[in-house]
Every structure is written in C-alpha cells, then in structure tokens.
Structure 1
Amino acid sequence: MTEQDLDALGPVDFLVIEFPAGHSTFTGEIAEELMKLVEAGTIRLIDAIILIKDEDGAVDAMELSDAGELGPLVELEAQLAELLAADDVVNLAAAMDPGSVAGVLVYENLWAAPFAAAARRAGGRLIADGRIPIQDIVASIEADAELEETGV
C-alpha cells in the first residue's frame, strides 16, 4: 500500500465466527452475504482464514485456498493480503471451544473510510472502539421489559 492508500484507509476490524465440529459451511449463505458487502463497497476483505481446534486444544490454521470448494469466495481469495501472523492465530484461537471450527475475517470498513480520513486530517486519532455483542443487547432489552412489567 502506498502512503496515499494508507491515508484513505477506513477502520479495520476482524470477526471470528465459531461453529461446532461438523456444522461449518463457509460457502453457502455466509459467503453470499459476504460477497454482497464486498460488491456494494461496504467492506474490503483483507484476510480470511479457517481455524480448526481439535478436542485436545491443538489449532490448525488454513488459508481459504486450502479449504477446498470456495463457491463465490474464490473471487475474493486471490485479492487477500494474508495479514494474520502465527501469533494472531494463537490469540484468536484462544477463544474457541475444543472441537470447533472458526472462520476469521479481517476487513476494512470502506463505508467509514472518508470519515476516518477526515478525522486524521483534522489531527484526530482513534483512541478506543468496541462492539456490543447482540446477545448483550437482547439481554438488556429483555431486562428493561421485565422491569417495566414488574416495576422492580
């Protein structure tokens, strides 16, 4: 990437999506929705790997190109930067349950790139970010509803 490319870079995030053993398919609806995000210019996929954690906790990382039939993801595989290092794999796999499989996606939020670049040009820098898991939002809404019903 050139310095100009880096100046225009949007926020970069990652996701780790875990599946129980035998229940992982990255080429169906998940792949279609990911392709829609890329084609719409919402995100740019930077890296994607598959992690396999056996029952004893040993982890194997696999690039998409080694995963067999990729379906629509084959279009994206050739463009990946392979950014994740061995230490990243170990850290990401720590959250996985033994006997599971996970897909890891690293992506640039293209939708936010103009705002992020403007903030940097104005002298700003991101000092914190985060994400609220959907399960926590649902729990909060349910707790509020229960409080309204019971008044306690």
Structure 2
Amino acid sequence: MSVQESAEMGPVDYAVMEFPGNRMTGEALPLLLDLVNRRVIRILDLTFIGKETDGTVRGLELADFDGDGTLDLAVFDGASSGLLDEEDLQEAASVLEPGNSAAVIVYENLWAGPLAAALRRSGARMVATGRIPFEDLVASLDAAEARSAA
C-alpha cells in the first residue's frame, strides 16, 4: 500500500463474532456481502477459529453453511492482509467459550475514508474512539424512557 493510498483510508475496525456450539448458519452473509458490494466496508482479513472443549484453538476452513454444495464465503477466500497474526487469533480465542467458534474480521470503513482524509489534511487527529455495546445502549434508552415517563 502506498503512502497516498494509506492517507485516503478510512478507520479500520475488527470484530470477533462467536458462534455457540460452532453453529454458523450463514444468515448474516448476505448482509456482509451487501456492505462490501455497496463499498461501505472493505474486508481486509477474515478468518475462522474454533476453541475446543479442552481450550485448544484451531483454524477453521470456509464452509458450506446452507448446504447448497458451494462455499458460502468463497468470495472472501484469501482475504488476508497480514494484519492478523497468530497472537491476535489467540487473543480473539481467549474471549470464546470452549466448544464455540468465531469469525474474526478486520475491515476498513470505506464510507469514512474521505472524511478521515479531509480531517487529516486539516491537521485534525483522532484522540478517542469507541463503541457502545448493544446491551448498554438498550439499557440507557430504557432508563431514559423511564425517566421521561416519571
């Protein structure tokens, strides 16, 4: 990646999505593909890991989730920028319950690239970032609703 290309990049995030009992249905795959096709995000890395009941971590192969005979994630086969290493996968596995698997994804927020580049050119810098967990968001909204009803 050139200096020019990296200057135009949007923020890069990661997510670890756990599948209890190794049950991956593929239901979310069309939504992920839609985000990629609409150029909202760009997948930089996508890998699957499993955590055995004894705590052993192993890599998983792409699979045919819906049973139609084709690899559901073949479009992402080889999606590996090199950002994820073995240490990252072990860290991701540390949050998994034994007997479960996970998708580990690193993605660029393409939608934010032009904004981020303009801010960098103007001398602005990101000093904090974060994500509000869904459960916390719902609890805050419920509390706000309860206060307004009182």
**Structure 1 length-normalised TM:** 0.85
Q: 2:46·2:76 contact (CA, 8 Å) conserved in 1?
A: no
Paired with 1:135 and 1:38, the residues of 2 have a C-alpha distance of: 26
State the partner residue of 1:39: 37
State the partner residue of 2:122: 122
Number of residue pairs matched by the alignment:
144
State the partner residue of 1:110: 110
- Shift of the 90–80 alpha-carbon distance from structure 1 to 2, 3 Å rule, reads closer
State the partner residue of 2:21: 21
- 1:132, distance to aligned residue in structure 2 (A): 0.4
Q: CA RMSD in A?
A: 1.7
Paired with 1:53 and 1:101, the residues of 2 have a C-alpha distance of: 6
- Shift of the 133–81 alpha-carbon distance from structure 1 to 2, 3 Å rule, reads same
Q: 1:48·1:82 contact (CA, 8 Å) conserved in 2?
A: no
Q: What letter corresponds to residue 29 of structure 1 in structure 2?
A: E
Q: Which has the higher helix share?
A: 1
Paired with 1:137 and 1:18, the residues of 2 have a C-alpha distance of: 20
What is the identity percentage for the equivalent residue pairs of Structure 1 and Structure 2? 40
* 2:138 counterpart of 1:138: yes
- Shift of the 35–104 alpha-carbon distance from structure 1 to 2, 3 Å rule, reads same
State the partner residue of 2:3: 3
State the partner residue of 1:90: 90
Unpaired runs of at least 5, structure 1:
none
- 1:79, distance to aligned residue in structure 2 (A): 4.5
